[in-house]
Chain A
Amino acid sequence: EDKVVQSPLSLVVHEGDTVTLNCSYEVTNFRSLLWYKQEKKAPTFLFMLTSSGIEKKSGRLSSILDKKELFSILNITATQTGDSAVYLCAVDTYNFNKFYFGSGTKLNVKP
């Protein structure tokens, strides 16, 4: 059964802390792994990862994929209250373009 598992389910940190969010997956016909940030409404895209070992960065956020061990991490450095959100991991497959989502990690950044 195809699945995507995220950990931790929730996290509370203080501004300035660094956090690491985890995503592991077991799917057939893997194509890419995606990270989304969801605040109050629809998820917004952060990163798409297709190759192992290549870090993608956007400001204070970075992510890397390990296709051998079947996981990805999302790092956020110097967290701000605006980073408070649910972070979703999804895996895209070649199975008719089906995506599989994890249940998300809820991040709460306190001032």
Chain B
Amino acid sequence: NAGVTQTPKFQVLKTGQSMTLQCAQDMNHNSMYWYRQDPGMGLRLIYYSASEGTTDKGEVPNGYNVSRLNKREFSLRLESAAPSQTSVYFCASSEIGAEETQYFGPGTRLLVL
């Protein structure tokens, strides 16, 4: 049981390049989330998926797209990276209705030059 896994761990991009951050969970959770964390800003929600086949915008969705490929996987895509997207990205999952919390992946550190 690996919990929530994310790839890659680190990435350096040039402005304008694109990339996809991958996230997978093996806990059979319905809900999955993408957050970014910047110094002093706490965690900010980018997108979330309440269940397979649905996605919704969070607090800071501009410049990102997501795909809920199946129940296990939720990917985050940067189509044209900008320096303002330099951040640490966390994926998380949780189960609706259960006495549970969110489980977080280890994070992806992204640097956009």
Contacts and interface: CB of A to CB of B under 8 A. Distances in A.
A101 B42 contact: yes
B36 to A, nearest CB: 11
B99 A48 contact: yes
A96 B35 CA distance: 16
A43 B104 contact: yes
Nearest to B98: A97
Interface residues of A, number: 21
A24 to B, nearest CB: 14
Interface string A83-111: 00000101010001111111110000000
15 contacts: A42-B90, A42-B106, A43-B43, A43-B90, A44-B104, A96-B31, A96-B50, A97-B50, A98-B58, A99-B33, A101-B42, A101-B45, A102-B42, A103-B41, A104-B42
Contact of B101 (A34, A100, A101): A34
Contacts of A104: 42
Interface in A22-67: 34, 41-45, 48
Contacts of B18: none
A9 interface: yes
The 7 closest A-B pairs by CB, nearest first: A103-B42, A42-B104, A96-B50, A101-B43, A97-B31, A45-B101, A104-B42
Contacts of B35: 101
